[in-house]
Structure 1
Amino acid sequence: MSETRTDAQQQEEFAKQTSAELQDADIDKDRAILGRDWASREQEYLSTATPEAIRNFAHSYGDDNPLFTDPDYGRGTRWGGQIAPPIMAGILNSPLRGEKPSREERGGSYRGIHAFVSGGTWDWYRPIRPGDTVYSFGGLESVDVKRSEFAGRSVVKVRRQVKMNGNAEVIGVYRTLVIYTERKRARERGKYSGLEAPSYTDEDIAKLEELYAAEQRRGAATRHVEDVAVGEELAPMVKGPLTTTDMIVFHAGGYGFVPYGLRTGRMAHQNRQRIAPFFVKNSYGVPDVAQRVHWDSAWAQAIGNPRAYDYGVLRECWAHHFLTDWAGDDGWVVSQHDEIRKFNYQGDVQYFGGEVTAKHERAGQWFVDVAFRGTNQRGEETIRGTAILALPSREHGPALLPDVPVELQRKAIEMLSTHGELLADTR
């Protein structure tokens, strides 16, 4: 058995295995299926929101809100029981039976191409409750080819997922912005390769601990819309410094990265046979998942980054935590739009802040518009976004949940009806 390879040998091996380039044929396949809705047949790590699953998911991104983590606490709120953080809809999915896309209708494969989440937009219509099994359908909304300063040519895709429960009630709609870049070109550009690694003194860590201790969760103290002023700042929040442990905890809480996923033993072998290009040799010559850019700095450096970095989805969850803490138990996050502006590398801290930008009323329901951002210890904005929150009013009463668009609700009923018919045919 050979010795462990040097860094130079590892870099050379990485270069050989990551020379894939964007193919026009993949882009054409994507454009051919724009606007089509397909039943999601993927089995996520979690499909049903049990009380423990809800708790563990909230804990996976650092949220200790008892509304999400304590079933007894929820009974004393407007919800009458435990609910999930609305953004949990993004990690839940049970296979939905429906029309299968043909090989030509599956879109581009983009084998060997690096993909990362660059942002997303959520609209939420109702809470997820313990016992809810979540299904989804959707497809591609847009495909654009751009030139990237970081990686040359890139493909920008918006994927739309409609999430519903077992009663065909629409929970929310998630639009994800994903960028595909050529790893070789990203490595050659090396824009961030010289970024200095952070180093913290005991005094620095003590200051961070003070910030964590001072964080304010609104909770049961109702935030009425009459008490909110345009220009008001939201209570700050800190996340980090980012560690490999953060990535492990996020996966343990339910983030499955399906359809690629994380597997071990015989199941890892089966995954390697199924999607061999997704596996790239590590420093020991062992094929390992390409997504280890999120915990393996050597591999992250091979594609042009200085260190391992977080998931865009994790930062979206952090932003959601920031919003739900401010809204309190009686509020509802109607929508969240976010843009991932820069990488969040291991060792980086994220400071979240924001302000109220507007208040508006529609049919007796009051909404508050918020702008938020996350900034690292270098003063760089790494995420920015906007949100609309429904808050209770002393004059008009509780915050109401938004209405689901009629055509969207009809589509959900059709999709779940087809699922039931196909399921009955197998009995």
Structure 2
Amino acid sequence: MTQTEQARDFDHAIKDEDIERAKLLIGIDAPISIDEHHRECSVDTIRQFAIGYGDDNPLFVDPDYAATTRWGGPIAPPMIHSSLSKKMLGDPIPEDIRKATKGLFSGVHLFVSGQDTEWFKPVRPGDQLFGFGGMESTEVKTSEYAGRSVIRVRRAVRVNQRAEIVAIERTILIATERKKSRERGKYMDLKPATYTDEQIAEIDEIYAAEGARGAEPRYFEDVEVGEALPKMVKGPLTLTDMICFHAGGYGFGPYGIGGTRVGYKNRQKKPKFYIKNAAGIPDVAQRLHWENEWSQSIGNPMAYDYGIMRECWLTHYLTDWMGDDGWLLRQHDEMRKFNYIGDTQFITGEVVGKRIENGNGVVDIEFRATSQRGEITAPATATVALPSRELGPVVLPEPDEELRRKAIAFMARHNEIANGKNR
């Protein structure tokens, strides 16, 4: 069987019964039983994660510098919860719901199209993160490119070992009938990007001008609506970038990519995740992010990045701009276009609002990643709290009281089970 034939076998249509079964999960919170790549935060965890997506902000990568800031030491970049999490113990979803929803959308291509995230507490060395959550909504749409799609929003509440809510993420998950898009062949004529020495020099010039705001406060009073943020560049995207991102900590916890014997054992546990390559070797379906041949067999012209990778880039844009004393309150982003190997993303933005919120001076920002083709691949919005000469330092936000009580209850149950197992 050829790789393309395997892709067809892997690529099933969305079933009506799966859509109805998916709705059974809406509103049910349960512990997130996944160990991510990192299970406890350290100075090295923070540094490696930041460098993995290309962020050299000294607040994240230089402990001596970080000790001089308001935080008193290193804090993790905003998206650290994509890499750092420990299995939360607790009561699973009801057994009848579990059985009724087993094997949802099996064989259907799944990807992340965007996320809404709110941040409440910094993550520091020594912290552990746990999570609970579930599906908030399920919606069916049709499009020319993907055929029928199921759009689901999954909420995950990230808490530390002290039961403090660190972040709330709402991930937009898309299940698509990619076989239809492959048959139409849309985008398959897209050619890989190439660059002249002059074009690389132009990109390097942007890199040379970049840098984190650092210790110089960006005061709320000094920001004006309509003000443009400095341009940032990411790319041209290479296989090396993908390797660095994985090595930095994005271990894709649900599937646990590993080599040799670890990979073999994982293949025994998750055989459907492993699809033979052109040489007949079982390999992860996820390799569409670095193997052109496999990506082409399921309807893409070449390999492309992770959505979470661009989300890290977008938060990097904001943390560079706001400085050590600012706080990223929330970000909404959408992955509208693929970012293929060879592509370059230029991130630009502007201040669109300014106000007082919960005792902080906050600004609203609209920004986006635009490829070298001139296509907006990732539009985004964000709200940033800045220090104020009149209001004082930024005050960290507080989560909803009901959700805070739920977080305490989930962690109490986790500790009860953990202590029982340790006796």
Whether the TM-score (by the shorter chain) exceeds 0.5 is yes
The answer to whether the Cα contact below 8 Å between 2:6 and 2:275 also exists between their aligned partners in 1 is: no
Match of 1:388 among 364, 371, 383: 383
How do residues 12-411 of structure 1 correspond to structure 2 at under 5 angstroms? 12-15=5-8, 17-101=9-93, 102=95, 103-104=98-99, 108-411=103-406
CA contact (8 A) 2:60 2:76 kept: yes
In 2, distance between residues paired with 1:363 and 1:119?
27
**267-276 or 169-178: which moved more?**
267-276
Conserved in 1, the CA contact under 8 Å of 2:11 and 2:109?
Answer: no
Candidates 398, 413, 416, aligned match of 2:411:
416
The worse-fitting range, judged by mean Cα deviation, of 403-412 and 107-116 is 107-116
- Paired residues in the alignment total 419
Q: CA RMSD in A?
A: 1.4
Please identify runs of 4+ aligned residues in structure 1 that moved more than 4 A.
105-108
Give the alignment's TM-score, normalised by structure 1: 0.95
Distance 1:125 1:406 in 2: 13
Q: Deviations over 1:296-352 (max 9, x none)?
A: 011111111111000000000000000100000000000010011100001000000
AA in 1 matched with 2:396: L
Alignment deviations for residues 70-125 of structure 1 (CA, whole Å, 9 cap, x no partner) = 11111111111110012212221111110123332655532211111100000000
CA distance in 2, matches of 1:44, 1:152: 33
Q: Once the 2 structures are TM-superposed, how far is the Cα of residue 19 of structure 1 from its aligned partner?
A: 3.9
The residue identity in structure 2 corresponding to 1:413 is: I
* Bigger Cα displacement from structure 2, 190-199 vs 61-70: 190-199
Which one is further off, 388-397 or 84-93? 84-93
For the residues of structure 2 that align with 1:109 and 1:273, how far apart are their CA atoms? 20
**Cα distance between partner residues in 2 of 1:114 and 1:86:** 28
**What CA distance in whole angstroms lies between the structure 2 residues aligned with 1:164 and 1:191?**
42
Residue 150 of structure 1 deviates from its aligned partner by: 1.2
Q: What is the CA–CA distance in structure 2 between the aligned matches of 1:90 and 1:270, rounded to whole Å?
A: 24
One-letter identity of the residue aligned with 2:56: D
Question: How far off is 1:13 after superposition?
Answer: 4.3
State how far apart, in whole Å, the 2-side matches of 1:239 and 1:308 are: 17
Match of 1:235, SS state, is: strand
Q: For the Cα contact (< 8 Å) 2:88–2:131, is it kept in 1?
A: yes
1:382 and 1:335 mapped to 2: Cα distance?
A: 20
SS of the residue corresponding to residue 410 of structure 2 reads: helix
Structure-2-length-normalised TM-score: 0.96
Do the aligned residues in 2 keep the contact of 1:234 with 1:326 (CA within 8 Å)?
yes
Q: Secondary structure at the match of 1:358?
A: strand
- Percentage identity across paired residues of the two chains: 52
Counterpart-to-counterpart distance in 1, 2:133 and 2:105: 19
Aligned to 2:4: 11
AA in 2 matched with 1:123 = E
Distance in 2 (alpha carbons) for counterparts of 1:110 and 1:361? 44
**Helix, strand or coil for the counterpart of 1:234?**
strand
| Deviation by residue 1:104-156 (Cα, 9 ceiling, x = unmatched) | 26555322111111000000001001100000000011111111221211111
Q: SS of the residue aligned with 2:82?
A: helix
Report the residue type matching 1:212 in the other structure. Y
Task: Answer whether contact 2:359 2:395 (CA < 8 A) is retained.
Answer: no
Q: Which residue identity lines up with residue 289 of structure 1 in the other structure?
A: V
Distance 2:208 2:74 in 1: 25
